[in-house]
């Protein structure tokens, strides 16, 4: 159980566009004035929670951005690609009111230090809070990633499977060989119980040469993670270098190949990386992007307002717009890019409780926006 054999080359995003008639849609601004928004969570009481990478969780209620952020967060600093990142409600939020956040923290010395930690640097933290409606309380740190003196590739999105396990990704922090090191918490997707413990059936449990929390490895920089309705498959979006963005299905113990195989090239030099695009024991992506469109947060659309998109995987693009992936089972059968001008830098997309599709436009204050995508 150490990976999958290389399979036939996947489809490239640019080679099979879908009919344009399927995206007769418009974009409406819901709220603006956000500062580098990163993630969205819809609360049953009608609030929309938005993380700002600069360190706050903002509240949108009745179509208005409230002036005061959620209280109770630790001090979270922004550093390059790090800061306050994803937010997710517990699957049993109605009973326990748990909220999960991922964020960057500076080096912590002492008993929390791991064998490969340095005396300085940054890492991704996964923490759980209790939401009382105005503040997040009772913070419990569930996981700390490897400490690296780099401001790159922190991840990090959440997803939950049908059994309630929590998944999240952490990038290889700009040090590519870490992704292949099973004793290093970088360049991986992880699977934990929601209290932070490791599930007994995780693929590397019991091995002395691997961290038991690892679910997959060889992941360069995970940027999106979502559970497919019905099948329960976990889909991931991942940044590549100068081409080679990927859409993957996350399967236990699978090696996704970075940096040994990739469809990308070295920044600035245009040289190939590693050993090519395929190798036995390393999985191919379901879809790859050349050139890169900077894939980000994503959502399966199961709403009623855009019936022609039902079942499609919608992916935010930091290069502008969204990608609509026509998914049948575990295969991407058609693709298109749309709304490039209306959505200049799309950091996250989520399905709202009203069946509409929402997206975050990432920009510094006051230009960050939450928008809604509707049928014309």
310: pLDDT strictly greater than 70: yes
Q: Give the pLDDT of residue 2.
A: 40
132: pLDDT strictly greater than 60: yes
18: pLDDT strictly greater than 80: no
297: pLDDT strictly greater than 70: yes
Reported pTM: 0.93
3-state helix, strand, coil in the chain (%, to 5): 5, 40, 55
Domain ranges of the chain: 38-292
CATH T-level topology, domain 38-292? Neuraminidase (2.120.10)
Model confidence pLDDT, tens digit, residues 110-121: 555 555 555 679
Q: In this structure, what are the phi and psi dihedrals at residue 22, rounded to the nearest 5 degrees?
A: -90, 5
User: Whole-number mean pLDDT of the chain?
Assistant: 91
Mean pLDDT over 21-32 rounds to 84
Q: Give the pLDDT of residue 8.
A: 42
Catalytic residue IDs? 153
Q: What percent of the chain has pLDDT over 70?
A: 90
Cα–Cα dist 79/84, whole Å: 10
Cα–Cα dist 275/317, whole Å: 28
């Amino acid at each position: 159980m150490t990976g999958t054999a290389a399979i036939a080359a996947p489809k490239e995003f640019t080679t099979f566009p879908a009919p344009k008639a399927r995206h007769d849609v418009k974009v409406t601004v819901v709220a603006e004035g956000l500062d580098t928004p990163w993630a969205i969570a819809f609360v049953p009481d009608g609030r929309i929670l938005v993380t700002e990478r600069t360190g706050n969780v903002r509240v949108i209620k009745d179509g208005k951005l409230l002036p005061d952020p959620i209280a109770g967060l630790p001090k979270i600093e922004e550093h390059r690609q790090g800061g306050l990142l994803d937010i997710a409600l517990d699957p049993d939020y109605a009973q326990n009111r748990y909220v999960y956040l991922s964020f960057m923290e500076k080096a912590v010395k002492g008993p929390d230090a791991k064998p490969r930690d340095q005396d300085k640097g940054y890492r991704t933290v996964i923490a759980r809070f209790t939401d009382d409606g105005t503040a997040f309380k009772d913070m419990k740190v569930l996981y700390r990633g490897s400490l690296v003196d780099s401001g790159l590739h922190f991840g990090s999105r959440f997803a939950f499977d049908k059994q309630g396990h929590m998944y999240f990704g952490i990038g290889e922090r700009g040090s590519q060989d870490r992704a292949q090191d099973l004793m290093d918490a970088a360049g991986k997707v992880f699977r934990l119980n929601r209290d932070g413990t490791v599930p007994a059936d995780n693929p590397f449990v019991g091995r002395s040469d691997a961290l038991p929390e690892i679910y997959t490895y060889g992941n360069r920089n995970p940027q999106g993670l979502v559970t497919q309705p019905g099948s329960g498959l976990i889909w991931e979006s991942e940044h590549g270098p100068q081409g080679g963005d990927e859409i993957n299905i996350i399967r236990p113990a699978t090696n996704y190949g970075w940096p040994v195989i990739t469809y990308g090239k070295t920044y600035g030099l245009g040289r190939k990386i590693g050993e090519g695009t395929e190798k036995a024991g390393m999985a191919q992506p379901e879809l790859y992007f050349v050139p890169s469109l900077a894939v980000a947060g994503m959502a399966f659309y199961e709403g009623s307002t855009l019936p022609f998109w039902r079942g499609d995987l919608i992916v935010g693009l930091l290069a502008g717009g969204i990608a609509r992936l026509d998914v049948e089972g575990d295969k991407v059968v058609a693709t298109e890019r749309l709304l490039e001008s209306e959505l200049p830098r799309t950091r996250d997309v989520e399905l709202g409780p009203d069946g509409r599709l929402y997206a975050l436009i990432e920009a510094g204050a006051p230009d960050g926006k939450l928008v809604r995508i509707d049928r014309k």
